[in-house]
Amino acid sequence: MELNKIFYFSLLLLTYYFSGYIFERHETVIIFFLFFSCFAITFLVSKKLSINEILFFGISFRLVLFFAYPWLSEDFYRFIWDGFLIGENINPYQYTPYELMNYGGIIETKNIFEELYFKMSTLNSLNYSPYPPINQFLFFLSTSFKKDIFFSLIFMRSLIILSDILNFFVGRGILKKLKLKEEKILWYFLNPLVIIELTGNLHFEGFMLTFFGFGILLFLENKKLFALFPLAFSVGTKLITLIIIPFILNQKKINENLKMMIPFSVLLFFIFFFPIGNHNLPNFYNTIKLWFSTLEFNGSVYYIIRYLGYKIKGYNIIKSVGLVTPLITTITVLYLIFNKKKETKVTLEDMFLLLTFFYLISMVVHPWYIITILYLGLFTKYNFQIIWSALIFLTYSAYQNSKVDENFYLIGLEYIIVFGFFIYEFFGRERIKTFLKKKFLL
């Protein structure tokens, strides 16, 4: 390895170490400095690394964080809570943590549950589990060997690192199939947002992408029926891929669509219905509905609509907007499906654009949400999502105090730049130059 690469490698290792072990979420200025330093160094070295060096660097940076407690999110306490509940033969969709802790006799061994309960967020403690069954199985697997929070944390992290290594190889395989540069996988595997949010903070988007990417790879190899299994498992891990899976349909071949959608629907039925249980389906549905009717974080178009709602109506119109968002998304899906060409590149691009649109009109966009866009973007001509993966970290300014308090100037900066790059790439630089010459005589 060249001397300058060793220098960059050492500098990044040190920066990730300080990020994971030394500083906390409320120390905003320092964590911003560390994150943007990681991003800047990665950008500088991006064109100099071979595919094997990308793999080595990525695994090394993840292993640096192996023993760190998540420092930007408390969600993992709920993950472990759900895993231990299943171990106690209690359905995590049946009771909220609040109910279990306050209605005596449901949990036999309360000690570890008390520790988890008081460390998880209020949102998690007052609501039923929003995590789909495959995700729940991973939680249970992580907690089934030892009743210890730190052990479960390490086990989860091992699973997440393994899934990201698989994402490297599967993503590389898709890039090869599409005849794109396989080195593009760098912008997933070495992206600081991916490393910090998945390995560092134990979010399971990477596991979802392992299933989803493997399904797309099988689809590219024309093994469509086999592709349905990992695609269904991706939905069973995180619901978001359910929005884009309809793009695999061929609008001109109804019989072929039925052959795919009927077994896919049966798979989803078995994945969701039996683990959740008939009586608990309303609990699961109502918890998911919170993201469309109550919660707000890092919205873009939504915050503008909310502001106009206050001006016109005099109150927050979140419930009305929440009902409209899924409707707009469904209409957009149908439009893109029935106007798409057959090429796989176009299909992946449509998936990417739809998810981008969905998050741009969403009321809640946590940093780890856009990792799905980042991964899909590898297989398209777009790069603005890479810029977004750096800028979305600005949202952690909301956690400087004990109360979540968003900085709308930083959110505005984030989305102005993201929209600017998106418009530039979507309409094409040549079209923009031609337009400017015609209108402004440039």
Q: Which residues contact 302 (CB under 8 A, 6 or more apart)?
A: 296, 321, 325, 361, 362, 363
Q: How many domains does the chain have?
A: 1
What is the rounded average pLDDT of the residues 86-109? 84
Look at residue 412 in the predicted model and tell me its pLDDT: 94
Which structural domain, as residue segments, surrounds residue 296? 3-72+152-435
Judge whether 343 lies within some domain: yes
Look at residue 427 in the predicted model and tell me its pLDDT: 82
Look at residue 440 in the predicted model and tell me its pLDDT: 47
Look at residue 64 in the predicted model and tell me its pLDDT: 97
> Can you give the pTM of this predicted structure?
0.92
Look at residue 442 in the predicted model and tell me its pLDDT: 41
pLDDT (tens digit per residue) in 144-195: 998 899 999 999 999 999 999 999 999 999 999 999 999 999 999 999 999 9
For residue 282, what is the enclosing H or E element? helix 281-293
Look at residue 430 in the predicted model and tell me its pLDDT: 63
Percent of the chain with pLDDT over 70: 88
Judge whether 140 lies within some domain: no
What is the rounded average pLDDT of the residues 307-315? 73
Per-residue confidence band for 320, with pLDDT thresholds at 50, 70 and 90: low
Look at residue 47 in the predicted model and tell me its pLDDT: 86
Look at residue 3 in the predicted model and tell me its pLDDT: 76
Judge whether 109 lies within some domain: no
Look at residue 321 in the predicted model and tell me its pLDDT: 62
Judge whether 134 lies within some domain: no
Q: What is the 8-class DSSP label of residue 69?
A: P
Name the percent of the chain in helix, strand, coil, to the closest 5.
75, 0, 25
pLDDT (tens digit per residue) in 388-425: 999 999 999 999 877 888 999 999 999 999 999 998 88
Taking each helix axis as running N to C, give the angle between helix 408-427 and helix 429-440, from 0 to 180 degrees, rounded to the nearest 10.
Answer: 90
Question: What is the residue type of 351?
Answer: M
What is the rounded average pLDDT of the residues 9-17? 95
356: tokens are 């981008």
Judge whether 253 lies within some domain: yes
Look at residue 250 in the predicted model and tell me its pLDDT: 64
Task: Pick the closest to residue 34 from 60, 61, 53 (CA basis).
Answer: 61
What is the rounded average pLDDT of the residues 317-341? 65
Q: What is the 8-class DSSP label of residue 98?
A: H
Range of lowest pLDDT (273-282, 312-321, 361-370): 312-321
Per-residue confidence band for 141, with pLDDT thresholds at 50, 70 and 90: very high
Task: Pick the closest to residue 241 from 74, 382, 375, 391 (CA basis).
Answer: 375
Look at residue 107 in the predicted model and tell me its pLDDT: 65
Judge whether 99 lies within some domain: no
Judge whether 325 lies within some domain: yes
Q: What φ, ψ does residue 69 adopt, rounded to 5°?
A: -75, 140
Look at residue 356 in the predicted model and tell me its pLDDT: 92
pLDDT (tens digit per residue) in 210-266: 999 999 999 888 888 899 999 999 999 999 999 888 888 765 677 777 888 899 999
Pairwise CA distance, residues 220 & 242, whole Å: 19
Judge whether 146 lies within some domain: no
Q: What is the 8-class DSSP label of residue 361?
A: S
**Greatest mean pLDDT among 22-26, 327-331, 379-383, 400-404:** 379-383
Range of lowest pLDDT (16-25, 242-251, 372-381, 430-439): 430-439
